[in-house]
Amino acid sequence: MTRLISAPAPVVVAPATVFGQGRDDPYARALRLGGGTLTLRPHDASPDSGRRPGEVTFNVLDWCSEASALELNLLQSLQGPVLDIGCGPGRMLSAARSLGMSALGIDTSAEAVGLACGRGTRALKQSVFSPVPQAGNWRSALLLDGNIGIGGNVGRLLRRCRQLIARRGTLLVEVDPDDDIDTAYQAVLQDRDGNRSEPFAWARTGRQGLEARASDAGWTPGPAERIQGRVFCRLSPFSDGARPARSIA
Ligand SMILES: C[S@@+](CC[C@H](N)C(=O)[O-])C[C@H]1O[C@@H](n2cnc3c(N)ncnc32)[C@H](O)[C@@H]1O
């Protein structure tokens, strides 16, 4: 006898420490300055899984500025209401507002949320793994700027996002430009003055790692789009009766 599994198992486990926080709080410092360079690097010699990743450099000014033309185009291709997961200081929320789209940001950083709200947008200081308003009704959700790494477990994050999105919704994920990278590790964030965060669980994955986990988390991945050196994937929830054979026990 076959049995259809209609929804992924609930997963609500909050990681202990989060992106760039603790110790010298480099993320909050950079946001208060409105710019600067932050480097994300492995904390330990050995990753939790996958190969040891290299460093990633973030330009905080980009996050504090307005959305780029590319990002505006991406938003325009989506339907509201939009949930921006790890919204930072809110450039995508501000862009959504300029397009007349309803949007909410969530972020664990008090400084980020304060800046986003200061732009006149709606943002809540909370984790994606905590109860999210209007769960199951978001028509679109964003995981940009490496946010697929949140919590250090791509499969768990994808399952969590599946709980948040509407049946006909879209999850827009920016993956690593390196298609083959697929690694989970303890990371630290550090600024140019040596201010350093506590270690936190993070992940980096390219197109292949995302596609490999999508169906187990309840998603059908669309083709990847490589634009201006960035790579985006659109995921749609399985429609009823359209789950792949290996999900039918
Ligand atoms: C790589 S930064 C991306 C910045 C952002 N997308 C922007 O436009 O400025 C990661 C962001 O995710 C947030 N974050 C980390 N863990 C989170 C969690 N569990 N839930 C929600 N946001 C989280 C961080 O505070 C940070 O703002």
pLDDT digits (tens, 9 = 90+) for 166-215: 999 999 999 999 999 999 999 999 999 999 999 999 999 999 999 999 99
Q: Is 202 in the pocket of ligand 1 (CB under 6 A)?
A: no
Q: Is 123 in the pocket of ligand 1 (CB under 6 A)?
A: no
Q: Is 106 in the pocket of ligand 1 (CB under 6 A)?
A: yes
Distance from residue 249's CA to the centre of ligand 1 (Å): 36
Owner of token pair 């477990």: 153
Please report, rounded to a whole number, the percentage of residues in the chain having pLDDT higher than 70.
Answer: 89
Cα dist from 83 to 67, 93, 170, 224, whole Å: 16, 9, 11, 21
- Please give the pLDDT value at position 116: 98
For the entire predicted model, the pTM comes to 0.91
Cα dist from 23 to 15, 27, 107, 168, 186, whole Å: 17, 11, 19, 42, 15
Dihedral sign from CA coordinates of 29, 35, 37, 41: positive
Distance from residue 247's CA to the centre of ligand 1 (Å): 31
- Please give the pLDDT value at position 49: 77
Comparing CA positions, the residue from 181, 180, 185, 175 lying closest to residue 151 is: 185
91 Cβ contact list (under 8 Å, min separation 6): 63, 64, 65, 66, 67, 71
Distance from residue 8's CA to the centre of ligand 1 (Å): 24
- Please give the pLDDT value at position 2: 41
Q: Is 197 in the pocket of ligand 1 (CB under 6 A)?
A: no
Q: Is 112 in the pocket of ligand 1 (CB under 6 A)?
A: yes
Distance from residue 178's CA to the centre of ligand 1 (Å): 21
Comparing CA positions, the residue from 133, 96, 94, 106 lying closest to residue 19 is: 106
Residue of the CA atom closest to atom 9 of ligand 1: 88
Enumerate the β-bridge partners of residue 140.
82, 170
Model confidence band, residue 17 (pLDDT cutoffs 50, 70, 90): confident
- Please give the pLDDT value at position 242: 52
Assigned fold of 26-239: Rossmann fold (3.40.50)
Model confidence band, residue 47 (pLDDT cutoffs 50, 70, 90): confident
Pick from 13, 62, 107 the residue to mutate for probing ligand 1's pocket: most ligand atoms within 8 Å of its CB: 107
* Closest ligand 1 atom to 21 CA: 25
Distance from residue 85's CA to the centre of ligand 1 (Å): 7
Model confidence band, residue 16 (pLDDT cutoffs 50, 70, 90): low
Q: Is 84 in the pocket of ligand 1 (CB under 6 A)?
A: no
Indicate whether 154 pLDDT > 60.
yes
* Closest ligand 1 atom to 128 CA: 20
